[in-house]
Amino acid sequence: MSVKEKKNYSLNDSQRSIFGRKILPTLLMGSILWLLGEILSSMYFSDIQMSPFYMVLYISILIIEVLLYLGLLFASKREKTVLVFLLYGIFSYGAGFMTLPIVIYTEFLPQVHMFVSLSVGATAMVFLMGLLLRNKYFAKGNVWAHIFLYLLGILVVEIIFIYVFNIQNFLLTIPITISYICVVALVIMFYGAKVMRKEESSSWLYKFVKIQSILILSLIIAMIVVIVVLIIIVLAIICGESGGDIGNLSWSGSSSGTKKKKEKIQ
């Protein structure tokens, strides 16, 4: 990495303060609201049968989410702080409804919970790094401190996920969780630092929305990959090639949901 590239990621005191005290907490708040929306939506709507009414409702929510994001971008450019927080809160909570088709049509509810929770874990990890390092966060001469805390954060988050989600298939799930944690954390850290330096004249709200935009893009790509993997797993199970054990995860309280789905099929 050249000296010029290194400077692009080195923050001054003002940039570091805004990033650590405003942007990182806001991103963490959004990821928590997303998880809350996903859990509640799966609790209340996982047993419904997809009908034309619910299809229209789902598409309507999707359109509303797009409009909310456009409104968020508009409000951030005009520094409407209250409106930005309001729109972002509704947008983040509403994003929890986007995984409903996977919950309704498959038995991968624990994996959906896990996938959304990964964003909370990764965002919390970066937030705690900023909180612990403070004036040393993305400052010259503190590379090893960042590397140590980053690796420690991944280890802690991974251990939590192993116990909370009772991960069985380590060869499949561990690489997936670590990959997604790295994607979210590195986007926030490095793209976030670059935005802070490049958008010097912009408000912190607009910088925050730009970082969130890249996170959404990475999330969409990750979800496409996960959906493709889940389709492959389902096909493999149907064809009897997997023995029914591929991607076997359990999550506390999820067995009853699986039983309900089996009763419906019978």
Q: pTM for the full model?
A: 0.80
Neighbours of 222 (CB within 10 A): 18
Beta-strand (E) ranges in 119-261? Answer: none
Among 196, 220, 145, which residue's Cα sits nearest to residue 23? 196
Segment 113-160, tens digit of pLDDT:
888 888 899 999 999 999 999 899 998 888 999 999 999 999 998 888
- DSSP summary character for residue 10: -
Beta-strand (E) ranges in 173-249? Answer: none
Q: Which residue has the tokens 């996982």?
A: 46
Among 187, 167, 66, 23, which residue's Cα sits nearest to residue 119? 187
Q: How far apart are CA 185 and CA 215, in angstroms?
A: 10
- Asked if 80 and 203 count as a contact pair (C-beta separation under 8 A), the reply is no
Q: How far apart are CA 84 and CA 191, in angstroms?
A: 21
Does the pLDDT value for residue 235 go beyond 90?
Answer: no
Segment 13-44, tens digit of pLDDT:
999 999 999 999 999 999 999 999 998 888 87
Copy the structure tokens of residue 128: 């705690």
